[in-house]
Amino acid sequence: MANAAHVDVLRLGGDAIAEWRKDQTPDASGLDLSDATLDGIRLRGLDLKFSNLSGVLAASADFSRSNLNGSKMTRAHLVDGDLSDAICEGADFSGARLRGAKLRRTNLRGTDLRGANLMDAFLPNADLTGAKLQGADLTGAYLPLANLTEARLEGANLTRARLSNAKLRHANLTGANLTSAQLIQTDLTEATVSGCRVYGIAAWGLTLDGAEQNDLIVTPPREPQVTVDDLEVAQFIYLLLNNKNIRRVIDTVGSKAVLILGRFTPERKAVLDALRQEIRELNYLPILFDFDAAATRSRMETVNTLALLSRFVVADITDARTVLQELQGIVPGTQTPVQPILISGQAEPGMFDFFRRYPWFLPVVEYSSVDTLLPSLKEMVIDPADAMAEQLIQELDRIRKPRSPQP
């Protein structure tokens, strides 16, 4: 049980504590405050390291900037308490009630928070390195920029938790509930994300180098389970399953999208804009990509992805070296029809001899000006490219169609 004299002094507040410190001890460490009632008490900046606060009732108490290193806080009731900037390294908060608690920049390195209730807790920039959070309830917890490196989160409830820019490097989230959690620019390098519920997750810009991802449950409880092995794919599958508009958009992109490549100098941009407008009026979905800057790996990956999503590509190769670089990836690697166009008087690049071995690389269409190109665009450019796209689809269908058994 708590030392009644110590509890009485703490209840009296700052001045009494300061006087007691002078008379009794330079700090308040090692106190037994177990099961004491300290609701609303102000203990800001107090040294309570290695103290016993197990079972303490301290709702709305102020422990900000206090030293709670190594303290025993098991089953402590700290609902709506303030532990901002407190030092709680190695403390035992197992089973504690910290719902709505303020833990901004709190040092919780190596703390035991197993089974703790941290619902709606405020933990921006908190240091939870190596913390034990197995079975903890972090529903709605606010954790942007928190450091959860090597944290143990097996079976934790992170429903609606906000983990933007948080570090979860080497963390173990096996069996965690990530329903509707926000993982934006979150670092999950070499983390274990296995058997998690990820229904409704927002996963953008993740760092997943070396992460173990498997058996992620995309569907909500009480529905047949659909599992995937990638967090970002899980988000996409969820959209496909639950948003009919997304499926319609994907169908539209596959059947109507036309990727337009070319230079974005003022003169050439006018041609591309005119192409885009004409293609739009022909009931296609033009996608215009700027290749004026030098190609990089990320740009090359982007254009290859857009080409894969498109029905065909129209590439204005006039003075466009970067487009030629991108065609080296698109033509051999995507089987997306490519219709090159070139202003009259310019010689075809030598690499076109290599491209022509691929049937979906169509003959070059030359034009003298945009005014002469647009009237014949459908006949000379769009129709041949669309016909090639349809031919490739039919060939793929034939390959996929099972053969009838021989008599």
Task: Summarize the confidence of residues 265-270 as an average pLDDT.
Answer: 80
CA atoms of 126 and 112, how far apart (whole Å): 15
What DSSP character marks residue 122? B
pLDDT value of position 99: 96
Q: pLDDT tens digits for 361-403?
A: 999 999 999 899 999 999 999 999 999 999 988 887 777 665 5
Q: pLDDT tens digits for 210-264?
A: 999 999 998 888 887 888 888 888 887 877 776 666 666 666 666 788 999 887 7
Cα 135 → chain centroid:
23
Q: What is the mean pLDDT of the chain?
A: 85
Q: What is the CATH number of domain 248-397?
A: 3.40.50.360
Asked whether residue 17 carries a pLDDT value surpassing 70, the answer given is: no
Helix (H) or strand (E) holding 184: strand 182-184
Residue 65 near residue 86 (C-beta atoms within 8 A): yes
Closest CA to 333 of 362, 301, 363: 301
Q: Which carries the bigger pLDDT value, residue 49 or residue 125?
A: 125
- Residue 51 region by backbone torsions, left for phi larger than 0, else alpha for psi between -120 and 50, else beta: beta
Q: Which carries the bigger pLDDT value, residue 1 or residue 369?
A: 369
CA atoms of 332 and 304, how far apart (whole Å): 11
Band of residue 115 on the pLDDT scale cut at 50, 70, 90: very high
3-class state of residue 344 by DSSP: coil
Q: Would you kindly state where each structural domain of the chain is located, as residue ranges?
A: 248-397
pLDDT value of position 26: 39
Q: Which carries the bigger pLDDT value, residue 216 or residue 47?
A: 216
Q: What is the DSSP string of 117-169?
A: B-TT-B-TT-B-TT-B-TT-B-TT-B-TT-B-TT-B-TT-B-TT-B-TT-B-T
Name 154's Cβ contacts closer than 8 Å, sequence gap at least 6.
Answer: 134, 135, 172, 173, 174, 175, 176
Residue 73 near residue 93 (C-beta atoms within 8 A): yes
What DSSP character marks residue 204? E
Label the pairing between strands 365-367 and 338-343: parallel
Closest CA to 191 of 156, 221, 220, 226: 156
Band of residue 3 on the pLDDT scale cut at 50, 70, 90: low
Asked whether residue 295 carries a pLDDT value surpassing 60, the answer given is: no
- pLDDT over 90 percentage in the chain: 47
Q: pLDDT tens digits for 50-88?
A: 888 888 888 898 889 988 999 899 999 999 999 999 999
pLDDT value of position 385: 95
Q: Which carries the bigger pLDDT value, residue 151 or residue 372?
A: 151
Least confident range of 29-43, 169-183, 234-248, 287-301:
287-301
Asked whether residue 173 carries a pLDDT value surpassing 60, the answer given is: yes
Residue 272 near residue 264 (C-beta atoms within 8 A): yes
Name 350's Cβ contacts closer than 8 Å, sequence gap at least 6.
Answer: none
List the structure tokens of 126.
């908190």
pTM of the entire predicted model: 0.67
